Amino acid sequence: MEKLVVKGKKEIRMHLADALHQTIQTLGISKASKKSERLIKKSSKKLASLVGRQMKKELKKISKMKKKTERKKEHVELATA
């Protein structure tokens, strides 16, 4: 599985919807019905919001860790100088 670089909920939603459409096509159905299209749209929206929130949390953690390590480096440099 390849790693994708996505930046927002809209991109996540589009990738999820595409993946669901491909899965339906691999099952042998040429085109999804209206009801399944609505379900795909609804589920991809929900999943995108969940994944988007999770990504936001992780990015926040990463930025906090970077700031923390930078402060430690500055403190060590000041102490050795």
Does residue 4 fall inside a structural domain? no
Structure tokens at 63: 């930025």
Does residue 43 fall inside a structural domain? yes
Compute how many other C-beta atoms are within 10 angstroms of the C-beta atom of residue 59. Answer: 10
Does residue 2 fall inside a structural domain? no
How far from the centroid of its chain's Cα atoms is residue 26's Cα? 24
**Does 2 have pLDDT greater than 70?**
no
Alpha carbons 54 and 60: distance in angstroms, whole number: 10
What are the pLDDT digits (tens) for 11-42?
Answer: 889 999 999 999 988 998 888 789 989 999 99
**Does 81 have pLDDT greater than 70?**
no
**pTM of this structure:** 0.66
Alpha carbons 49 and 54: distance in angstroms, whole number: 9
What are the pLDDT digits (tens) for 37-76?
Answer: 999 999 999 999 998 899 889 989 999 898 888 887 777 7
Model pLDDT, residue 68? 84
Domain residues for the domain of 57 are 9-80
In the chain, the number of structural domains is: 1
Alpha carbons 6 and 13: distance in angstroms, whole number: 10
